Structure 1
Amino acid sequence: MRRGRALRLIHGSAALLALVCLGTTLRTGVEQRGTALAFGALVALGELSRWTGPRGGQAAPLGAAGALAYALLGEDAGRATTHGAAQVVSVVLAASLAGCVPHVARGRGPAVDHLARRVLTVGFAAVCFQPLFNRGTFADWSGPAYALLLVALLALTALCDAVLAAALAHSRTGWPFGPLLRDALRCVIGIGSAVCATGAVIALAVAVVGLWALPVFCLPLLLAQVSLRRYAAVRRTYRQTIASLARATEVAGYTPAGHARRVAELSRAVGRDLGLSEPELTVLEYAALMHDIGQLSLVDPVPAGATAGLPGAEQRRIALLGGAVVRQTGVDAEVAVVVERQADPYPEQPPAARIVRAVNAYEEKVRDAGPGGPLRALEELRLGTAGDYAPEVVEALARVLSREGLTLPSAG
C-alpha cells in the first residue's frame, strides 16, 4: 500500500508540474521559438533513439543531455535568453511525447516512469537556474565559476534522478530501496556523468557560438550510446552462452528440463530481496544457471538430478567438479567459487552460494509435489536452518514466493 502511494505521488507530482507549466506557456506564449524548436528537436531525437537497457532500464542519454542543457541555458550566441522554467518543462515534455510516438506505434507503449522522471528532473534543474538567471543573480559569474555552477546543478539533478529511479523501482517491485539506490548511483557515475558533462558543455557552447554547437557537441554522446548498446548486446550473448552451457545437463538427461532456468530466476529474486547489488546479482544468476554442471562428471546420474538429498560429502564432490568445469569454460572466477561452495556449511558460504543452495533444494522438493508442495518444502527448509540452509535466505525465499508475480515458474 505504501509503495503504491509513492508511485502515485511521483506520477501525480510530474503530472501536476506538467499541467502548470503547459498552462503557463500557453498563456504567455513561447519565447525565442527558434531556440525552443532546436532543443525540442534534439530531445525528440534522443527519445527516438531510446532503447531498453539491461533489466528493462530505459536509456535515452541524448534526450536527457539536451533537456538538461535547455534547462541551464542562459545565453544564445551572446544574447540573454528569456525563456523560463515553465517553457523548459513544456518544450521537453512535448518533445519527449513526440519522440515516444514511434515506440508506441511499434507496440512498446509510453514509458510513464521515464517521462515522470524526465519532467521532474528537468523541472528541478530549470527552477534552480532560470529564475535566478533572469533576475541577474549570476550576472557577475563568468569563466570557471559559471561552468562549475552548471556542473554542480547538474550533479544535484543527477542525484535527484537517481532517487526517483530507485523510488519508482521500489514501488513497482518491492525490492529494497537501498540497493536500488546504490545501483542508480552507479549508473550516475557511468553514463550519467557523460550526460551531465554533455549537458553542461552544450549550455556553455550555445551561449558562445549559438545553436551550431548542438550537433557538434552531441556527437560524442551519440557515439557513446552506440557503444553502450553494443556492450549490452555482448552481455546478452555472454548470458545466452552460459545458459546454453547450463542446458548441457538437461540434454544429457542428468537434470529435468528447465531446472537451471527456474533456479536462476528464483535465486535472482531472492538476491534482490536480500539487497544484493546488480553485479552481485549477475554472478548469482550465472552460478545458479551452472550449479548442476558438475553432474556431467558422474558415471551414474543422480535420480532426477536431485542433489539436495545426497550425503554432504557427495554434494561437495559434485560442487567441486562443477567449479572445475566452470573454470575451464572461461566464465568469471567468482561464478566458479559460488558453484564450488554451494554445498559447504552455510556459515562458511558466500551469500550467493547460500542462495543457490536453498533455492535449488526448494525447487527439487517442490517438483511434482502437488498443490501443498511449496508449503511443505518451505517447512523442510526452515527445519534445516540449524545447519544446512541460511535462515535469512529461507525467509527471503518465503517472502519472494508470497509476492504476486514472483512465484516459481512452472516446468518447461
Structure 2
Amino acid sequence: MGPLDGLRILDMTTVLMGPYATQILGDYGADVIKVEAPSGDLIRQIGPKRHEGMGPLFMNTNRSKRSVALDLKHPSGRESLMRLVEKADVLITNIRPKAMARLGLSWDALEPQNPRLIYAALVGFDQRGPYAARPAYDDLIQGGACIAHSFIRAGQQPSYVPAAIADRIVGMSAVNAILSAVIERTRSGHGQRVEVPMFETMLSMILGDHLGGLTFEPPMDEGGYSRHLSPDRRPYQTKDGYVCALIYNDGHWERFYRELGQPEMPAADPRFASFNARMAHIDEVYAELGRIMVTRTTREWLDLFDRADVPAMPMHSFKSVLEDPHLAATGFFQDVDHPTEGPMRQMAVPTTFSRTGAKPERLAPQLGADGPAVLAEAGFDPKEIAALVDAGVLTLPKEA
C-alpha cells in the first residue's frame, strides 16, 4: 500500500513528460488510468520490441498504470471519459489547451462535473504569453532554456544533453505541483487547475546556476557559473579508462595531495590554497588534475579517493551500470516476467518509505488492456461496454 493509495488519476498524457510524472504517482500507489487514443501513445513504437506497441521507452515510463483506449472524438468516447472524471481525483494532460477545449475537456468544462478535480495541464509555455499556443519538445526547451548555449560557454559546439532531461525534470515538477494541490484540497474541499510550463520550469532551474552577475542591475558579468562552464570539467582520463571525481573543499584537496605524497600542497600553490582561489583559477585547476589523473589506472584512483574520502565514481556505460555492486546490493535492477513481453529488467522505485512502501504494482499495459474493467468500475454495464467496442469507441488488445 503505497503512500498515494486511494488517489485515482486520469492520465491523458503522451510521449515522456506527462507519462513520467504519472508513473511516479503510480509507483507511489495511486491508481493511474492511462487514457490513450485508439492508435496508442506514440512512444509505444520507439526502440526494439517483441510485440507491436510495447517498446522499451514506453515500458520504462508507463508501469504502475492501467490502459483504456477511447476515441474521444466520438461523442460516446467523450461521454465515457466524463463518467470516469466523476470519480477521479486528478486529471493530467499534456495535450495543448486548445485541443482539449475542442474535445470539450477543458478545466471549465470538467469543473462542474467534479468540483474536487485537480486538473493538471503540462504545457510548453506559460499560457499568458505569446508562446502559449506553440508546440514544445525536449530539444526546443533545452535550447530555449540556455542548455545548448552553456556548451558554447564551455568551449564546445552548442549541443543538447543526450537525454530527455526537460521532459523528465518538468515531469517531476508536475508531481510536486499536483500533490501540493491535493494537500490544499484537504483544507478547502475544492479542486483547481494547475499549470506546469516546460520553458519556465527549466529556465528557473538552469538560471539558478547560471544567472550569476545578471542577477544584479546593472549586471556584474555575462552570467554563468565558472566551475560548471570550465572546458575541463569532465570525467578524467586515466591510464585505462575514465574516473569521475570532485575534489571540492579544502579537506578534499589536503587529503588528495597527502595521498600523492605531496603534503605541502595545496598550500604551496596560491591557485589551490583556498576555495575562492580555486574558483578564480578553475580552468587551470581542472587542467592540472587532468594531467595528474592520466598517470594511474581507474582502479588505482578509485582506491586512492576512497582512502582520502574524496567523492568519486567510475564512469559507467549503459551496460556496465547493470553490474554496479551498490545497485546489486540495493536491488535496483529487478528481473520480472511481463505477461505478454516475457522476461525483462525493470528499475526499482528510488525513493523508500518506512511504513508505506512504494513499488511498481503493474508492468506497462498493452493498449486498452484494462478498458472493460475500468469502465465497469465506473458503473458501465456489460451491454454498454460491448456497444462501445462494437462502435469502435473502445479499443481492446488485438489478442483479446
- With normalisation by structure 1, the TM-score equals 0.29
Question: Would you tell me which structure has more helix in proportion to its own residues?
Answer: 1
- With normalisation by structure 2, the TM-score equals 0.30
Question: Would you tell me which structure has more strand in proportion to its own residues?
Answer: 2
Greater RCO, 1 or 2 (C-alpha within 8 Å, sep 6+)? 2
